[in-house]
Structure formats: C-alpha cells, structure tokens
Amino acid sequence: MGRAKIKREWHIIVNPNAGKKKGYKDWSIISYLLNRYDIPFSYIFTEAKHHAMDLAADAIRKGCRKILVVGGDGTMNEVVNGAFRQKEVPTTDIILGMVTVGTGNDWGRMFDIPMDYEAAIRVIKNEDIFLQDTGVIKFYSGTDVRERYFVNIAGLGFDALVVQRSNRQKERGHSSKTLYFWVLLRSLLSYKHTSTSIEIDGKKIQNDTFSISLGIGKYSGGGMMQTPGAVADDGLFELTLIKRMRKGEIIRSLKRLYNGTILDHPKVEGYTGSRIKIDSDPLIHVEADGESLGHSPIEFNILPRSINIVQGITGD
C-alpha cells in the first residue's frame, strides 16, 4: 500500500475542554480568523484525555505534515507524543503550531506565541520555523516501564506534586493562576525532601532534594523561570536542583522563580546535560509539560533539533 498524499493545509486539533472550555467556546472566533487570513485547514475535536496523541499520529499517517494545536501545553504535549510515536515519516518533516486557549501558555511564552487569537494566527500565517529539541523520559508506573516525549519542562519532587494537585482541580473545572499559587502553598506545607542520586552525562551527584526541573524551555507554572538559561536547540537539558531548605526560606525565595534569579540562591545548583538518570529514596514522581507521569527510577535523553515549530517574531 502506497504512502498517503501529502496535504499542504493545516490540520487543527482542538481541545474543547482547554482553558475552562475556551477551546469549545472560542472555536468559532478562531476558525473565523483562520478563514479571514486565508489559512486552509481541516479540524477535529478531541474527545478524551490522550486522544490528541492518536489524532496526531493518524493525521500524519494520512498525509498531514502541519498540525495546529488549539489548546494548552498538555494538548501540545499529546500532539508531540503522537508525532514521535508514528513511524510514517521522520519528525523533522512535521511542523507544529499553536493557538493557546489554556491557562499556562508556558511553551508558547518561550517562543513568543501571543495569547491574543488574531496575533497568534498572524504568527501561523507568517510560518517562521524553528527546529527545537525534544526530551524523552523513561519512567516507572508501578512495575511497568513507560516512555513520554516533552518539549518544554519536566519537574520532579515538589514540582510533580503541585502539578498533580493542580490537574485534579482542572478536572473539576477549576483553573487560574490564583488557584495554582494556592495549591503551591498548600503542597509546601505537606511536602518532605527526598534523598536523590542524579547522574548527568556520567557525573554523579547525591543530595537531599526539594525539587528538580529539566528544561528545554524556560517557563513553567504560568510564567515561573525554573530553568532560566535553557536554550531550545542546543542539544542539552538545563537542570535546576533545589536542595533541602526550610519552608520559610522557600516562601521568601518564590520571587526568584519569576524574576529569573533562582540560580543565584546558595541552595540551588544548575547543570546541563544530554543524558540524565535520577533515582531516589523514597520514590520521586515526575511530570512533563504539566502532565503527571510516574516515578523513579527515571532516565532523560535529549533528541537534538528533532521537531519543527512555528515561533513568534522574536522566538528564542
């Protein structure tokens, strides 16, 4: 059976539940603007969690090479995973774009994707392509070994707990920056440090760890800069290790996460590497691009310059 004919238009995957159902409510506005800017497209709505993975892989097998996400960072993550799980074409043949209707916009912030719909569609029309790195994680879920790709940031320890609790609130229809901050502070009261063993390109580090972030992008949690020096096409993760510290000291240091000075704190260390292994006692959990995954032992590998994305005018 021959390969499907390549389609030149954008195939749009819409998450109707993203951003308190903004994906559904605002689709008529977004589709009107796409037509106004003479952007040919087809579209489909997701119907369940992880559905965007299957929709993306299926679209690529049917000849689509340009996929536009109307959703949040989690929807983009699912589409990326669909792109890498299909074996029809190399991922460097695929272009991804985004019109964000989620609450975080952390991946979009890295690449100057505007929150304004019309401005975001002008970015799609301009089609300025950037070939970015992708991370792949091997982790455990119980006794099963699983794998997940990501294009922004993965978090372990405290980060993963906050994401897990925030996602529970989203599933109940509650989502805002204020709520995220409340979940963060509430989680801080109950979270305890973890003894971790980290191996970065063969170099081993032992620590009592509060939190670990591995970034291809800079932003997470709606604008926090946990990996402020990350470069999205250098073939390296930026790793930020926050060591054990008192809760009051953590609260006083929160502003550093927003102003990019987190690495100046004496109990924070920064590293770069392309292959990173992390184990812990007790188990440490991991999230990627805001999606809760599983637990240690965990291995991260970088896939340099492995997927095309459409960036804004001044994308990093």
- Is residue 127 located within the same domain as residue 139? no
Note every long-range contact of 258-267, with CB atoms under 8 Å and residues 24 or more positions apart, other chains counting: 258/223, 258/224, 258/225, 259/225, 260/225, 260/228, 261/228, 262/225, 262/226, 262/228, 263/228, 263/229, 267/242, 267/243
Quickly count helices (H) and strands (E) in the chain.
9, 16
Do 265 and 119 sit in the same domain of this protein? Answer: no
Dihedral over alpha carbons 48, 51, 55, 56 (to 10 degrees) = 130
For the chain, the domain total comes to 2
Are the beta carbons of 66 and 95 closer than 8 angstroms? Answer: yes
Q: Give this prediction's pTM.
A: 0.92
Q: For residue 201, is it within any domain?
A: yes
Looking at the domain assignment, is residue 315 inside a domain? no
> What's the domain range around 149?
135-304
CB 111 within 8 A of CB 312: yes
DSSP code string of 252-307: HHHHHHHHT-GGGSTTEEEEEESEEEEEEES--EEEETTEEEEEEEEEEEEEEEEE
Same domain, 189 and 227: yes
Q: How high is the pLDDT of residue 170?
A: 65
Residue 180 sits in the same domain as residue 292: yes
Specify the amino acid at residue 62. Answer: K
Domain annotation covers residue 2: no
Asked if residue 118 and residue 44 are part of one domain, the reply reads: yes
pLDDT in tens, the chain (316 residues): 456 788 889 999 999 999 889 999 999 999 999 999 999 999 999 999 999 999 999 999 999 999 999 999 999 999 999 999 999 999 999 999 999 997 778 999 999 999 999 999 999 999 999 999 999 999 999 999 999 999 999 999 988 888 877 767 666 666 666 666 677 777 777 788 899 999 999 999 999 999 999 999 999 988 889 999 999 999 999 999 999 988 888 888 888 988 999 999 999 999 999 999 999 989 999 999 989 999 999 999 999 999 999 999 754 4
Amino acid identity, position 165: R
The angle at the Cα of 82, spanning 80 to 88, to the nearest 5 degrees, equals: 115
Q: Tell me the CATH number at 84.
A: 3.40.50.10330
**DSSP-derived secondary structure for 44-61:** EE--STTHHHHHHHHHHH
Instruction: Specify if 316 maps to a domain.
Output: no
Sign of CA dihedral 97, 47, 5, 39: negative
Q: How far is CA 262 from CA 93, 147, 150, 284, in A?
A: 37, 29, 23, 22
Asked if residues 159 and 286 have their Cβ atoms less than 8 Å apart, the reply is no
∠ Cα 297 216 214 (to 5°): 35
The residue type at 96: L
Same domain, 110 and 141: no
Domain boundary residue, one of 72, 106, 133: 133
> What are the phi and psi torsion angles at 299 (to 5°)?
-130, 135
- Are residues 93 and 204 located together in one domain of the fold? no
Residue 25 placed within a domain: yes
Q: Are 181 and 282 contained in the same domain?
A: yes
Domain end residue (candidates: 90, 110, 133): 133
Name the CA radius of gyration of the chain, rounded. 19
User: Looking at the domain assignment, is residue 30 inside a domain?
Assistant: yes
Rounded CA-CA distance 54/61 in Å is: 11
In a domain, 1, yes or no: no
* 80 lies in the same domain as 149: no
CATH code at position 289: 2.60.200.40
The SS3 of residue 140 is: strand
133, 154, 178: which is the final residue of a domain? 133
- The verdict on 81 and 210 lying in the same domain is no
Query: Within this chain, do residues 122 and 148 fall inside the same structural domain, yes or no?
Result: no
Residue 15 lies in a domain: yes
CB 93 within 8 A of CB 65: yes
pLDDT for residue 276: 98
Is the domain of 100 the same as that of 156? no
Residue type, 265: H
* Amino acid 82: pLDDT: 98
Distance CA 55, CA 61 (A): 10
Question: Which of 312, 314, 280 minimizes the C-alpha distance to 297?
Answer: 280
